C-alpha cells in the first residue's frame, strides 16, 4: 500500500526533469517521470519553467506530499576549502570566511552548502558549494507560487551520487570511480562501496562542451580526479556512462592505468528503460531520483536551504510543533508530579498525626501499654471490650482481674518499704491480664538488687528482668506474674 510520494526536480536554466517517487511496503517505485523545456518558449524564465512543471503534473494527475530540487552544476560553483576547526558548529560559523579567502571576494550574496571530507590535527577539508541567493530566491518563489515549496535544494552531483550509492551494486572490493557524462555536464563520484554507503562521497562536477571529444576529455580528467580524491589509494577501476554513447572504451582503457568499464545507469539499477523514456537522458533521471529520495535515505544531504531561506513547510512546522508539545507535556507532567507529591505528603502528615493521637488514646485505655508492632490495635481493643463486657455480665470469671489487683497492691507495698533508701524512680508500669511490668531506676546496682528482694519477700514471682547502667543510675525492667 502506498503511503507517500515525493517529487524530485532536476533543474537547469531552460529544462527540467521530474521524477515522482512512491514509497510502498515492498520498497519504492517511479509512477511518473518526464522532462519539460522552455527553449522554444517566448518566456524563458525560472517562473515559466516551474509553471510548466506544475501544469504537466496537473495534466498527468500526479499527487505528491513534498518536493526536492537538484540544482544543475551550471547554477552553482564547487570549491575545495580548508577549515581550521573540526567541530561542525564551528565550521558552519566560519565557512563563509574560508570561502571568501578562496574566492578573494565578498560572499554575502552567496548561499553556501558544504560537506566535511576529512578531519585531522590541522583542521578539516571541505567540499563547499556556492549559489547566488538571487537565483535561489527566484526558484523558491516560483515553486511556492505553485504550491511546491522545496524541502531541499541540493547540488546535482550529490543527488546523482545518492542515486548511485542506493541503486547500483558496489559490493566488489575497492572503490570504483564513477565518471558520468550527460549531454551537458561531467560528474565524477567516488567513495561508494557495498560495505559503506552512508559516508561522505568525493564528488566533482564540471560543464561539458557539445563538440568536445569525450574520450580525450576523460583521458585528461580521470587521472586529475583520482589524484585529488580522498580515496585515491582505494580506487581500483573506473565505471563510465556516456549519455551520448560516443566513447571508445578500448582506447579509454589503454590511456588509463586502471580498468575502465561501461555502466548502465538504468538497467543495473533495476529501473525499466521505459520508465525514463520521457526524460532528457538517464543522468537527468538519476539526479531527479536522487533528489526525491533524500529524506527516505540515510545518506548525506547537502542543502542550500540550510544557509538561505530555511525550509518552513508542513514537515518543519509539524516537527517544531511536536518539540513544543513535548516540552509542554514534560512541564505538565512535572507539575502533576509535584502536585501529587504534595498531596501524598499532606496525607502522610495527617496519618502521622492520627497515629499519634490514636497511640495516646490507645495507651490510656490499655493502661499504658504501647501499640503492638504486628497485631491490629483495633482488633485488640475489640477483644478487650468483649472481655470487659463479659466480666460485667457475669459470663466470665473476674478471678484473674482480682489476682492482678492484689499483686499490684503487694508490688506497691514493696516499693514503699525501700523507696527512700534506694532512691527509687518509677518510669512506667504496664499491666496486662497475665503480667505486670515495671520500668525504673535506682541509684546503684546494689539498691536494685535490694528492690528485687523486697518484691520477692511479698511472695511475688519475677518472670524476667533486665538491668543496665545508664547515665550514672541503674536502669531496670522487672516483669512479675500477675495471675496465680
Interval 124-169: pLDDT, tens:
999 999 999 999 999 999 999 999 999 999 999 999 999 998 888 6
Three cell numbers written together for 128: 563547499
Three cell numbers written together for 364: 490510656
22 assigned to some structural domain = no
- Residues 407, 359 share a domain: no
Cα–Cα distance list, 415 to 278, 368, 451, 464, 480 (Å): 119, 19, 7, 18, 14
Between 315 and 323, whose confidence is greater?
Answer: 323
Phi, psi of 147 (to 5 degrees): 60, 40
- Grid cell 526536480 in the structure block, residue: 9
Task: Classify 243 as helix, strand or coil.
Answer: coil
Cα–Cα distance list, 301 to 64, 84, 88, 149, 206 (Å): 20, 23, 14, 17, 20
Query: How do residues 330-344 score in pLDDT, each as one tens digit?
Result: 999 999 999 988 888
What is the rounded distance in angstroms from the CA atom of residue 236 to the CA atom of residue 195? Answer: 16
Mean pLDDT, residues 308-334: 82
55 assigned to some structural domain = no
Phi, psi of 254 (to 5 degrees): -65, -30
Check residue 455 and give its pLDDT.
85
- Residues 377, 423 share a domain: no
Cβ(155)–Cβ(129) below 8 Å: yes
Q: Give the strand order in the sheet containing 425-431.
A: 425-431, 435-442, 473-481, 462-470
Mean pLDDT, residues 209-234: 82
Mean pLDDT, residues 198-211: 79
- Residues 369, 417 share a domain: no
- Residues 460, 406 share a domain: yes
- Residues 369, 442 share a domain: no
- Residues 405, 384 share a domain: no
Domain tally, the chain: 2
Domain that holds residue 367: 326-393
The residues pairing with 90 across neighbouring beta strands, listed in sequence order, are none
Domain end point (choices 342, 368, 393):
393
Q: What is the CATH number of the domain that holds 476?
A: 3.30.1360.100
Mean pLDDT, residues 171-196: 77
- Residues 378, 413 share a domain: no
372 assigned to some structural domain = yes
pTM of the model: 0.65
471 assigned to some structural domain = yes
What is the rounded distance in angstroms from the CA atom of residue 304 to the CA atom of residue 155? Answer: 8
Mean pLDDT over the full length of the chain: 84
Three cell numbers written together for 422: 534506694
333 assigned to some structural domain = yes
Between 430 and 359, whose confidence is greater?
Answer: 430
Domain end point (choices 347, 375, 393):
393
Q: Is the pLDDT of residue 402 over 60?
A: no
Domain end point (choices 393, 418, 448):
393
362 assigned to some structural domain = yes
- Residues 356, 335 share a domain: yes
- Residues 471, 411 share a domain: yes
Check residue 463 and give its pLDDT.
82
Q: Is the pLDDT of residue 67 over 60?
A: yes
Mean pLDDT, residues 397-417: 71
- Residues 406, 387 share a domain: no
Cβ(288)–Cβ(18) below 8 Å: yes
477 assigned to some structural domain = yes
406 assigned to some structural domain = yes
What is the rounded distance in angstroms from the CA atom of residue 52 to the CA atom of residue 4? Answer: 23
Amino acid at each position: 500500500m502506498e503511503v507517500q510520494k515525493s517529487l524530485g526536480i532536476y533543474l537547469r536554466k531552460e529544462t527540467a526533469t521530474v521524477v515522482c517517487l512512491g514509497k510502498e511496503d515492498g520498497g519504492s517505485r517511479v509512477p511518473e517521470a518526464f522532462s519539460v523545456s522552455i527553449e522554444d518558449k517566448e518566456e524563458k524564465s525560472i517562473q515559466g519553467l516551474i509553471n510548466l512543471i506544475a501544469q504537466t503534473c496537473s495534466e498527468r494527475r500526479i499527487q505528491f506530499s513534498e518536493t526536492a530540487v537538484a540544482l544543475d552544476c551550471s547554477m552553482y560553483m564547487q570549491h575545495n576549502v580548508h577549515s581550521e576547526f573540526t567541530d561542525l558548529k564551528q565550521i558552519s560559523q566560519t565557512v563563509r570566511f574560508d570561502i571568501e579567502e578562496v574566492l578573494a571576494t565578498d560572499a554575502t550574496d552567496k548561499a553556501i552548502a558544504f560537506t566535511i571530507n576529512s578531519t585531522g590535527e590541522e583542521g578539516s577539508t571541505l567540499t563547499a558549494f556556492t549559489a547566488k541567493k538571487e537565483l535561489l530566491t527566484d526558484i523558491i518563489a516560483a515553486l511556492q507560487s505553485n504550491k511546491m515549496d522545496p524541502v531541499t535544494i541540493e547540488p546535482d552531483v550529490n543527488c546523482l551520487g545518492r542515486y548511485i550509492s542506493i541503486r547500483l551494486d558496489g559490493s566488489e572490493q575497492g572503490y570504483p570511480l564513477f565518471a558520468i557524462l550527460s549531454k551537458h555536464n561531467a560528474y565524477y563520484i567516488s567513495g561508494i562501496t557495498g560495505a559503506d554507503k552512508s559516508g561522505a562521497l568525493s564528488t566533482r562536477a564540471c560543464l561539458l562542451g557539445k563538440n568536445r571529444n569525450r574520450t580525450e576529455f576523460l583521458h585528461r580528467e580521470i587521472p586529475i580526479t583520482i589524484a585529488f580524491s580522498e580515496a585515491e589509494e582505494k580506487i581500483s577501476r573506473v565505471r563510465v556512462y556516456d549519455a551520448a554513447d560516443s566513447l571508445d572504451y578500448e582506447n579509454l582503457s589503454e590511456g588509463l592505468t586502471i580498468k575502465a568499464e561501461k555502466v548502465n545507469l538504468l538497467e543495473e539499477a533495476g529501473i525499466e528503460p521505459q520508465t525514463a523514456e520521457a526524460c532528457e537522458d538517464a543522468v537527468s533521471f538519476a539526479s531527479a531520483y536522487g533528489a526525491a529520495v533524500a529524506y527516505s535515505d540515510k545518506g548525506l544531504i547537502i542543502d542550500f536551504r540550510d544557509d538561505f531561506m530555511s525550509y518552513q513547510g508542513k514537515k518543519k512546522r509539524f516537527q517544531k510543533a511536536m518539540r513544543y508539545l513535548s516540552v509542554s507535556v514534560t512541564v505538565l507532567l512535572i507539575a502533576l508530579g509535584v502536585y501529587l507529591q504534595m498531596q501524598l505528603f499532606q496525607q502522610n502528615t495527617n496519618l502521622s498525626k492520627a497515629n499519634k493521637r490514636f497511640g495516646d488514646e490507645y495507651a490510656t485505655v490499655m493502661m499504658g501499654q504501647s501499640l503492638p508492632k504486628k497485631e491490629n490495635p483495633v482488633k485488640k481493643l475489640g477483644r478487650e471490650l468483649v472481655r470487659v463486657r463479659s466480666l460485667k455480665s457475669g459470663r466470665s470469671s473476674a478471678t484473674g482481674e482480682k489476682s492482678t489487683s492484689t499483686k499490684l497492691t503487694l508490688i506497691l507495698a514493696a516499693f514503699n518499704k525501700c523507696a527512700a533508701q534506694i532512691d527509687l524512680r518509677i518510669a512506667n508500669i504496664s499491666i496486662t491480664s497475665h503480667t505486670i511490668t515495671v520500668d525504673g531506676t535506682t541509684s546503684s546496682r546494689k539498691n536494685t538488687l535490694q528492690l528485687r528482694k523486697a518484691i520477692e519477700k511479698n511472695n511475688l514471682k519475677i518472670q524476667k528482668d533486665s538491668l543496665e547502667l545508664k547515665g550514672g543510675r541503674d536502669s531496670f525492667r522487672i516483669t512479675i506474674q500477675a495471675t496465680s
